[in-house]
Amino acid sequence: MSFQIAVYNYQVFLIFRGPDVRDSFLECFHDPLKGAGIVAFLDRKEIEYGERIDDKIVEAIKCSYICVLVFSKDFASSPTCLMEVALMVEFDKTILPIFYDVEPFIVSLPGDK
């Protein structure tokens, strides 16, 4: 009988659309997590200059316990954000949404009305 034990490098993977929340909400959210001893993946703190971003993101999603999506007005306009959401679904991750400065029904794909 064989089984796999999940190994998590991160307790939380944070996904967000950079310009919308990076210098406002995100710091107020990430810093208290860190202060509480929760290890959260935050791209600008985890990816070094010159490092392959795609590989690091895929590995971080795989090795995260939960994923927190910070939906904002321009979230769905980012192909990278949409790819990350697809990976979370593919890897069967628990996804916790946060709607930042937007109502849930506002977040839609470009061109949707």
User: Residue 23 carries which side chain, given as an amino acid letter?
Assistant: D
Instruction: Give the pLDDT of residue 61.
Output: 92
Give 9-37 pLDDT, tens digit per residue: 889 999 888 777 877 788 788 888 888 99
Looking at residue 5, what DSSP letter applies? -
Q: Which of 46, 48, 84, 90 is catalytic?
A: 84
Q: What share of the chain is helix, strand, coil (3-state, %, to 5)?
A: 40, 20, 40
84 catalytic residue (yes or no):
yes
Q: How far apart are CA 75 and CA 84, in angstroms?
A: 11
Q: Are 71 and 101 in contact (CB under 8 A)?
A: no
Q: Which CATH architecture has domain 10-105?
A: 3-Layer(aba) Sandwich (3.40)
**Side chain identity at 10, as an amino acid letter?**
Y
Q: What is the pLDDT of residues 41-80, one digit of tens each?
A: 887 655 655 556 677 888 889 999 999 999 888 888 888 8
Could you tell me the residue ranges of all domains in the chain?
Answer: 10-105
Question: Taking the model in full, what pTM does it have?
Answer: 0.77
